A and B are shown apart, each in its own frame.
Chain A
Amino acid sequence: MMSTLPRYIALAAVAAFVTSAASARDLTVVSWGGAVQKAQSTAFLEPFAQESKAPLRQASWEGGIGILRAKVQSGNADWDVVEVESDELAIGCEENLYEKLDWSKIGGKDIYFPQAVNPCGVGALLYSFVLAYDPAKVKDAPKNWADFYDLKKFPGKRALRSGPKLTLETALMADGVAPADVYKVLGTEEGVNRAFKKLDTIKPNIIWWQTGQKPVELLASGEVAMTGVFNGRITAAKKAGKVFNMVWNQSMFTWDSWVILKGSPNVDAAYKLLNYMSDASRQAKQMSMLANGTSNKQSIAMVDAKDAADLPSAPDNAAHAMEVSAQFWLDNFDKLSDRFTKWVAQ
């Protein structure tokens, strides 16, 4: 008894370890859940699994380079292909968390928009941070971030994303900084002070949201009349019958990318999937379900004019937009995040 019990435990532990190590893992694709993943699943993931006759597992996450670092460094990452934000792409590439892409396996760099090409990732979605409002709740339509910060014209609560990123930019634009100069100004001490000073003017009237769907809920429940929000969520809400409007003037666009995690046992299958997803007509199918741009240059021509008008890349929408600077946030996030945490509690 004394000797057998520990031996059984040891045996069981070894058996569990051996079986988990020996069983080949299915290709695992990780995206952001909700409407985004549903569209990706319908346009790419499910048909790919059917055609390749290989099981494909899906998971979702809410971002955070810490999670990817933990998975890769532990040596037994259970994810293969992940959709990451632009700053996660840059940090992870520097830290060697992703496979360096072999573009010959996915159609060559030339079929993609140049902004969708990165040594470690290929563009997945182009989306924008826009001002959205409930027309029933405001007297006039807000036209820019200056209106968003104007309590006289638009009294009541409004919502922004909790954190310095995508918040300080709106404050500077509201204070009269041209979109092209936002990061130049924000790179200086005076610029940061100026942004926080502008935020001070509406601070008691801001509700801070964390997850992407929250601002839509806040608009729908009447908690706020306007909010900063990612465009795809608003288009999805409009398709579900809500009457919300978006302001594309001074919107901020950015790319999410697909990466293959370093050390993935399914690199070949992952490349096959990325290649499958590069197809223009399949991307057009996704765009008809989800109002976000995709990587293949040809795809946009295949989308209905009605759906195309809601894309961040539509000429009217892109005319007065700026790109979120991943590099700026890579260098300044820690400092500005501390400052934001301090400011928000004061």
Chain B
Amino acid sequence: MTEVHILSRQLHRSNRPRHLASFALVLPLFAFLVFSYGFPIGTMLWQAVSDKEVGIALPNTVAALASWDGKTLPDEKVFRALAADIKKARADETLAPAARRLNYDVSGFREVLFRTARRPPPANTASVKDYIIGIDSAWSNPNYWGAIRNAAGPASLYYLLSAIDLRTNPVGSIIAKPNDSSIFIDIFVRTFEMSLIVTLICVALGFPVAYLLTSLPARLAYPLLVLVLVPFWTSLLVRTAAWVVLLQNRGIVNHALIDLHILSEPTALIYNRLGVYVAMTHILLPYFILPLYSVMKGISPNYMRAAASLGARPIRAFIKVYLPQCASGITAGCLLVFTVAIGFYITPALVGGAADQMISYYIAFYTNTAANWGLACALSVWLLLATFVLYFLYGRLVGGVAGPVT
């Protein structure tokens, strides 16, 4: 027992330099991953819950509101804290970020805050409460105070809830947003629906192609395989732009349809859902064909022959014998296409209309144009979560199923 123990220790010791060497070789890659994935994704996760602007600008107001019931009007003490905070925040230039944050929650809050800031109460004001409500009656509305309290920070679920159309009311319970501003559930549903349809089209078009590739002799199959691969290697932007040229009103497709007397005037093939489906399917098709092809390649023709010799008709043999062996390839292809599809941005932006944009478009919109990074990050977190769920499914469905029997 002890000898074995010593031996294994010695073996371990003699192997250590090699372990360290291989670790050192992997180190650059590891550092690269930490810098290029770990750090940005960590920052993104933090941005989605970070909520510190109001706490920095209005610290005393936030503290004074801690004991507020959320229904009645706050008392004089809170109003005095607010007046003092606003004065200081304005001097420190921390008021603008806080106003921006509060305006996300209650539209118009920005202007209320700045209007109040422009008229600080005189030193001997008897009731600061009456004075401030006199400047803007919005201060008598508990919604505004609730927004301040819920933004106390330094972290909150505000953005994560917003990204799925929920908000916290002044009393502190989570409620659905009003109909006019509930947009993201619809967009997530749209994103998944569009990805699903593209996936189904890919199955319908990709399966026969993969089957053809496997059944042809190599002399014919390889040139065809190249036809699948060349678009796969071509820039996504180039392929999308090519569809704009083909599908536009005076494009080749419309011209051909008119020349063939199928149409009398050009029809809208682009800047709508149809255009997005066509372009996305074209881009994603190789992601379906290639995994399925590699699985089909491994299926021995003997099984079909055996089924036929046992009296199964071709269709029955195909469904009962061939298809089950392709299942892992179909699942892999579907999940791959679906996962890539839910993150699509450029293609719908170029060939889709305003109602065909997927969630990535809104992430870009809130990052650059609206500059609401918290919300952009929260949307990304939900999208990332969906991708993780899919990845998990992929592992279970593809990794769990034994490969084709050969």
Interface residues of A (CB under 8 A from B): 1-2, 5-6, 9, 63-67, 69, 91, 94-96, 157, 162, 207-208, 210, 221-223, 330-335, 337-339, 341-342, 344-346
Q: Which residue of B lies closest to A64 (CB)?
A: B368
A332 and B107 CA atoms in complex are apart in Å by 7
The verdict on A222 contacting B250 (CB below 8 Å), with A2-B21, A331-B111 known, is yes
Measured CB to CB, the closest approach of chain A to B136, in angstroms, equals: 13
Taking residues whose C-beta sits less than 8 angstroms from the other chain, chain B's interface range is 35 or more
Residue B182, interface by CB 8 Å: yes
CB within 8 A of A342: which of B111, B186, B349, B369? Answer: B186
Asked if B354 and A162 make an inter-chain contact with CB atoms under 8 angstroms apart, the answer reads yes
Chain B residues with Cβ below 8 Å from A5 are 24-25, 27
Number of A-B contacts (CB under 8 A): 97
Distance to closest chain A CB from B373 (angstroms): 7
* A339 and B180 in contact, given A66-B373, A222-B250, A223-B248 (Cβ under 8 angstroms): yes
**12 A–B contacts, CB within 8 A, in A order:** A63-B369, A65-B371, A95-B100, A222-B250, A331-B111, A333-B370, A339-B180, A339-B181, A341-B362, A342-B182, A344-B355, A346-B355
Bound-state CA distance A264–B10 (Å) is 61
Give the 10 A-B CB pairs with smallest separation, nearest first: A66-B371, A64-B368, A335-B107, A94-B96, A208-B354, A344-B354, A345-B355, A338-B181, A331-B111, A66-B368
Name the B residues within 8 Å of A6 (CB-CB): 24, 27
CB distance from A293 to the nearest CB of B (A): 25
Shortest beta-carbon distance from B380 to chain A in Å = 14
Whole-angstrom distance between the alpha carbons of A94 and B349 in the complex? Answer: 32
The distance in angstroms between the C-alpha atoms of A65 and B107, with both chains bound, is 19
B: which residues have CB within 8 A of A?
17, 20-21, 24-25, 27-28, 31, 93, 96-97, 100, 103-104, 107-108, 110-111, 179-183, 186-187, 190, 248-250, 268, 271, 349, 353-355, 362, 367-373
User: Are B186 and A221 closer than 8 Å at their CB atoms?
Assistant: no
On whether the beta carbons of A207 and B353 are closer than 8 Å, the reply is yes
Name which residue of chain B comes closest to A69, CB basis.
B371
Among the interface residues B100, B107, B248, which one has the most CB atoms of the partner chain A within 10 A? Answer: B107
CB < 8 Å neighbour of B367 from A66, A157, A335: A66
Most buried by B among A63, A67, A339, A345: A345
Chain B residues whose CB sits within 8 angstroms of the CB of A335 once the complex forms? 107-108, 181
Residues A221 and B248 in contact, CB atoms below 8 Å apart: yes
B353 — which chain A residues lie within 8 A by C-beta? 207-208
Chain B residues within 8 Å of A223, by CB? 248-250, 271
- Choose among B250, B349, B368, B370 the residue that contacts A221 (Cβ–Cβ < 8 A): B250
Q: What residues on B are CB-neighbors of A9 within 8 Å?
A: 27-28, 31
| B-side contacts of A332, CB under 8 Å | 107-108
Write the chain A residue with the least CB distance to B352. A208
Given contacts A207-B271, A208-B354, A342-B182, contact A331 B373 (CB under 8 A): no
- A331–B190 alpha-carbon span in the complex (Å): 29
Closest to A332 in B: B107
Asked if A341 contacts B107 (CB within 8 A), the reply is: no
CA distance A5 to B31 in the complex (A): 13
* Interchain nearest-CB distance for B176 vs A (Å): 14
CB distance from A263 to the nearest CB of B (A): 14
A96 to B249, CA, bound (A): 47
A40 to chain B, nearest CB (A): 22
Give, as a whole number of angstroms, the nearest-CB distance from B268 to chain A.
8
Q: Would A334 and B183 be within 8 Å (CB), given that A9-B27, A65-B371, A94-B96 are in contact?
A: no
Closest A residue to B111 by beta carbon equals A331
- Cα of A208 to Cα of B357 in the assembled complex, Å: 12
A200 to B20, CA, bound (A): 68
A322 CB to closest chain B CB (Å) equals 21
Contact between chains at A95 and B96 (CB < 8 Å): yes
Give the distance in Å from the alpha carbon of A91 to the alpha carbon of B103 in the complex: 13
Taking a contact as CB atoms closer than 8 A, the residue among A64, A96, A210, A222 that contacts B371 in the complex is A64
Contact A345 B24 (CB under 8 A): no
